[in-house]
Amino acid sequence: MTITETGPPPVAELPPLSDDRLYTAEEAAPYVKVTARFLKRAAGSDTIQHVRVGRFPRWSAQNIRDIVAGVPHRPRPRRR
């Protein structure tokens, strides 16, 4: 395996997004073309759309589509 063969598969080879499930950062990253770490940090600072399941960030198919399309995210108000 050469270095050029590593990394996420091209978007054309990814399966279509399913509207009936939530994706982890590792699963969503290839669709958004960023690293899983970037998604986790952006969700932690509430700068991208996401859903929390307990304390873990997850992304719906619509969240992923919105991130790719550049739809602005309105952060949730902080709890006191």
pLDDT at 80: 73
Q: Contact at 8 Å (CB) between 17 and 31?
A: yes
Strands 56-60 and 51-53: antiparallel
CA 31 to the chain's CA centroid: 7
> Has domain 20-69 been given CATH number 1.10.1660.10?
yes
Q: What are the extents of the domains in the chain?
A: 20-69
Quick one: 25 exposed, middle or buried, by C-beta within 10 A (0-12, 13-18, 19+)? buried
Entry pTM: 0.77
Q: What is the pLDDT of residue 7?
A: 61
Q: What is the pLDDT along the chain (80 residues), one digit of tens a residue?
A: 455 556 665 656 889 999 999 999 999 999 999 999 999 999 999 999 999 999 999 999 999 999 999 999 888 777 77
